[in-house]
Amino acid sequence: MTNKDDSYKFKKVISIGIVSELTGLSQRQIRYYEERKLIFPDRSKGIRKYSFADVEQLMEIADKREEGVPTQEIRREMTKEIREKMLKGQMNAHFRFRS
């Protein structure tokens, strides 16, 4: 039950047009953030597929960009958060759906 609900959040099934609507970001911006390694969609025959978790991530990125934080700084903050979560022993939640 919890596993199933989790899978809804992490399953990569949403194409970029919908992600754009959900986040308010342009497709150009979404692709650029991928180029800057802030987001990692799957690919299905070349077509990008995102999860709801990705959508949330993009919303956080959007907030920080509006504050003027450059992508490189956002990336640093992200890797730092990952590190902290791993220290807390939550690496399971993070990696379980990654591969």
Backbone angles phi, psi at 91, to 5 degrees: -60, -25
Does 86 bind a copy of itself (CB under 8 A)? Our answer is no
The only residue of 47, 86, 91, 93 in contact with DNA, by rule CB under 7 A: 47
Sequence-ordered strand ranges (E) for 4-92: 42-44, 47-49
Does 42 bind a copy of itself (CB under 8 A)? Our answer is no
- For 26-48, the DSSP string reads -HHHHHHHHHTTS---EEETTEE
Does 71 bind DNA (CB under 7 A)? Our answer is yes
Give the residues across from 14 on adjacent strands.
50
Does 65 bind DNA (CB under 7 A)? Our answer is yes
* Between 33 and 54, CB nearer to a copy of itself: 54
- What whole-number distance in Å separates Cα of residue 29 and Cα of residue 27? 5
Backbone angles phi, psi at 47, to 5 degrees: -90, 125
Interacting stretch for DNA, rule CB under 7 A, among 4-12, 65-73, 77-85, 89-97? 65-73
Q: Which does 13 bind (CB under 5 to 8 A by kind): DNA, a copy of itself, none?
A: a copy of itself
Binding site for DNA (CB under 7 A): 15-18, 20, 26-29, 31-33, 36, 44-48, 65, 70-72
